[in-house]
């Protein structure tokens, strides 16, 4: 019965178009808030812009100690340019696959941990309690989590589970993200008299030649080499003028051994005075202590689902944990969700129904362990 409830809720969440940008989670968030309220949660909705909202839901416990927290986001990335075989908002099922934008990343996980809490509501109420931190705006740099923190609506918690796609493999951390905008300024002139101007595109090309060989820093034992990618460039207004401005955006993925301020300072020194740097996103890396007792307990629960012995793993993508963990006092954190990592942001995104059922059971076991 619980599995049917999880699938039904996942399909309902997938039916909402929450693509970001532009970002419009409000209707989906209101529906979910109503569902949680109907199932006994204390619910608080907060807005961080038109059509944008976050949700905090609580099942307060009666036993001493801090509650267990789950977090997930309801915004999704755009559909992309390729055609979908399945309706991205139709939550169609084909064999073991539940299709839809956000199925793996990460509405199915949100449904699974919500239902797991409801199924064990009395255990939670008699124990230390549970909290759901549901955000919007994660895909564009954790905007919702930042707003949630600034609103001061964060409870004290003892541990955090992030339901991002891991195929139910427990992950103890992820890389940090530093997104920088690099801008060059020149002087416009007629395209037939370029000697009278300063070409901002040429300045950007010189900078790109330097940045291509820039290393953000030393490798990390678990997260390996940091990465850098130039993901966007734009400049010039028309073909017959010397462009006076060009900008390109840099995506750097870092590790706990690297300081973002140092990376930016080194890059700025390399590019020189012709390039102005602006920080767009600054999210620190996340890494929990693998030997922590609760982490080991979660490993124990996950091990039967995997053939080989579990080993410490991290993922390259960022999560809301980058901002939430420092604001929550850095409790232990596990990234654990039923979604397929390879399906995140893909055309015809899907989540396996078998993984979804496993995740609900996993979350239930972790909840019971925490309340005992």
In the chain, how many H helices and how many E strands?
10, 16
Whether residue 138 lies in the annotated active site: yes
**DSSP assignment string, 50-119:** TTEEEEEEEEE-SSSSPPEEEEEE--B----SSPPSS-TTS--EETTEEESTTIIIIIHHHHHHHHHHHH
Distance CA 84, CA 201 (A): 37
* Active-site choice (24, 25, 105, 138): 138
Exposed, middle or buried by CB within 10 Å (0-12, 13-18, 19+), for 327? middle
Question: In degrees rounded to 5, what are phi and psi of residue 122?
Answer: -65, -40
φ, ψ at 19 (rounded to 5°): -65, 135
Catalytic site includes residue 75: yes
Interatomic CA distance for residues 217 and 229, integer angstroms: 14
8-state DSSP, 196: G
Rounded Cα distance between 251 and 318, Å, is 12
What would you report as the CA-atom Rg of the chain, rounded to the nearest whole angstrom? 23
Residues 6 or more apart whose CB falls under 8 angstroms from that of 157 comprise 66, 67, 68, 69, 131, 328, 331
Distance CA 320, CA 73 (A): 8
Tokens found for residue 255: 């590790």
| C-alpha distances in Å from residue 212, one per residue of 72, 178, 220, 229 | 35, 16, 21, 8
Catalytic residue among 75, 143, 183, 249: 75
As given in the structure block, the two tokens for residue 280 are: 């767009």
Q: Would you say how long the chain is, in residues?
A: 372
Helix 353-371 / helix 293-302 crossing angle, nearest 10 deg: 140
Residue 178 φ/ψ, nearest 5 degrees: -125, 110
Q: What positions carry a catalytic annotation?
A: 75, 138
């Amino acid at each position: 019965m619980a599995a049917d409830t999880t699938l039904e809720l996942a399909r309902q969440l997938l039916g909402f178009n929450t693509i970001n940008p532009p970002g419009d989670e409000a209707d989906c968030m209101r529906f979910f808030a109503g569902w949680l309220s109907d199932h006994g949660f204390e619910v608080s909705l907060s807005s961080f812009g038109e059509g944008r909202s976050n949700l905090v839901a609580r099942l307060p416990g009666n036993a001493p100690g801090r509650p267990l927290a789950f977090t997930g986001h309801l915004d999704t990335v755009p559909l992309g340019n390729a055609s979908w075989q399945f309706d991205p908002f139709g939550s169609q099922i084909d064999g073991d696959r539940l299709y839809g934008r956000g199925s793996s990343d990460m509405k199915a996980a949100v449904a699974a941990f919500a239902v797991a809490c409801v199924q064990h509501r009395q255990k939670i109420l008699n124990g230390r309690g549970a909290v759901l931190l549901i955000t919007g705006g994660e895909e564009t740099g954790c905007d919702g989590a930042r707003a949630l923190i600034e609103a001061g609506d964060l409870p004290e918690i003892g541990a955090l589970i992030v339901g991002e796609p891991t195929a139910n493999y427990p992950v103890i951390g992820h890389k940090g993200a530093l997104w920088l905008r690099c801008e060059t300024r020149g002087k416009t002139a007629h395209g037939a008299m370029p000697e009278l101007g300063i070409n901002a595109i040429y300045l950007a090309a010189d900078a790109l030649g330097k940045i291509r060989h820039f290393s953000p820093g030393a490798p990390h034992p678990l997260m390996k080499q940091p990465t850098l990618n130039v993901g966007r460039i734009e400049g010039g207004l028309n073909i017959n003028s010397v462009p006076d401005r060009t900008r390109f955006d840099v995506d750097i993925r870092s590790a706990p051994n690297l300081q973002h301020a140092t990376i930016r300072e080194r890059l700025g020194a390399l590019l020189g005075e012709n390039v102005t740097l602006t920080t767009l996103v600054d999210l620190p890396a996340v890494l929990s202590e693998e030997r922590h007792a609760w982490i080991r307990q979660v490993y124990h629960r996950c091990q039967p689902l995997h053939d080989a012995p579990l080993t410490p793993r991290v993922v390259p993508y960022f999560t809301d944990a980058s901002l939430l963990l420092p604001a929550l006092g850095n409790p232990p954190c596990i990234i654990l969700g039923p979604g397929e990592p390879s399906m995140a942001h893909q055309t015809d995104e899907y989540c396996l129904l078998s993984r979804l059922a496993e995740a609900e059971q996993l979350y239930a076991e972790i909840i019971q362990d925490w309340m005992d």
